[in-house]
Chains A and B, each alone.
Chain A
């Protein structure tokens, strides 16, 4: 399941763009594949990342996966709620399970991302 209005990567991250602010998380497909999450390592505020750079790590009891930033920007906010409740990503990955907010520094870095329909087709083909 994907949500309208967001953009998606092939690595199953989503990004919601509002002006120069971008909210990043992982998709429903990703959380289902990982299983129950037990820990999220959040980025440091102020960290500058390029698209495809590692921005966070999500851990389930038997796997740890990198989360890559879909866009180029600077981390301005992280979802601290995840520190004590990583399962928010399992419960509601597109809303309360967001991971970080970035300030876009390259307005073009999200141009190649998939829209909802494209991503749903992509997942269907996996």
Chain B
């Protein structure tokens, strides 16, 4: 059925009634924007659609052993996550328009917010954003609102996918975006300290950074605060099980991609952006926030709170155009974290780090394979230099059944031979050994 449900006959009748032709209705739209033929084939029936899509899906390389990370991670997802999340009470519900009627949804979001606060070491979290990249952009805009300044410093050890997003979002905004080139795998202090001035709204960093290296930004937080600037830190939630939190480092806004918390890797998502901050900045925070209160019978209940920040009330002065949230993905993260528990998350993070450390030893033992950053702590990703172009090696390893890693030349100059390799708790010692053998055989 077409989206517009009246028939051609009815349209003719209506137009005759008002004495106009169809073209007259669109006369306000410049002709160059009107009615370009879409060059689409005719519709086909359900069975043929299925066949066609199956054919397309067959072009994917599937069942590769995954050593690919770079912001999205192949973690084990307990079956109970999907069982809980797919309950129709959660699965079919949209962020409710009459929110307080849906106490269950609000309670889940409230608990998710609490989990994100504990994970990041922060005081307040919102109900989620679209993905890690938009969360980072929103954090930057929040820093601009708080400080009334327009200079932003970002280190290139921040995930390039997010940096590209920030670049395109800010194309037409008056923002002075300055990039620093990381120093031997860590945020470039020398440059950052020199750039922070009284026009700086924020410094944006990531930990562990895109190269997997672990940093402590306490000194940068201090330097930023001295000049009235904020520190925004993007983090990998699983690593929070064992690493120092951005909250402990003095970060003002923490964001990240939440996919690793129980969501499968899939091109295009849906993914989960999380954001947490300090209570003093809560009114500058974008997105929805669920608060806990009591009703008139003194029963514990949940509300969407501080809505005056949002666009349906504050219109053009809203903190952001985001009024919705990724409720189902946020619930997934909550269920995943609840199933793992504090100890489980710590163990998962530790196993990732241990296995990555083992893989690092195995792979750097191969003649011609060298660590790119020497003497750097890493979490579950590391950069290796190969004796030839990484992209070629990766292509050859796909033939052998491995997604071996990410070719860094895609985003970084002079890193043609560098590959970013990731190891999660799902990889076995045997798989790591097989990767080492396969890599050695193709060099």
Contacts and interface: CB of A to CB of B under 8 A. Distances in A.
A57 interface: yes
Nearest to A59: B308
A63 B307 CA distance: 8
Interface string A26-56: 0000000000001101001000000000000
Nearest to A41: B283
B387 interface: no
Nearest to B314: A64
B370 to A, nearest CB: 53
Contacts of B308: 38-39, 59-64
Interface residues of A, number: 12
Contact of B148 (A38, A44, A61): A44
A82 to B, nearest CB: 14
A117 interface: no
A64 B148 contact: no
A60 B148 CA distance: 24
A91 interface: no
Given A39-B308, A44-B148, A59-B308, A64 B313 contact: yes
A66 interface: yes
| Chain A interface, DSSP helix/strand/loop, else mixed | strand
B317 interface: yes
A63 B317 contact: no
A64 B283 contact: no
The listed residue with most B CB atoms (<10 A of its CB), out of A41, A44, A61, is A61
Contacts of A41: 283
Given A41-B283, A59-B308, A66 B313 contact: no
Contact of B317 (A38, A44, A66): A66
Contact of B313 (A38, A39, A63): A63
Given A60-B308, A63-B308, 13 more contacts: A39-B283, A39-B308, A41-B283, A44-B148, A57-B317, A61-B307, A62-B307, A62-B308, A64-B308, A64-B313, A64-B314, A64-B317, A66-B317
Contacts of A62: 307-308, 313
A2 to B, nearest CB: 27
A60 B313 CA distance: 10
B264 to A, nearest CB: 40
A38 B291 CA distance: 15
Contacts of B313: 62-64
B311 to A, nearest CB: 11
Interface string B250-291: 000000000000000000000000000000000100000000
Contacts of A39: 283, 308
B285 to A, nearest CB: 13
Nearest to A44: B148
B208 to A, nearest CB: 37
Interface string A78-97: 00000000000000000000
Nearest to B303: A61
A121 B307 CA distance: 35
A66 B318 CA distance: 12
Question: Which of B308, B309, B317 has the most chain A CB atoms closer than 10 A to its own CB?
Answer: B308
Nearest to A39: B283
Contacts of A44: 148
Contacts of A59: 308
Interface in B294-325: 307-309, 313-314, 317
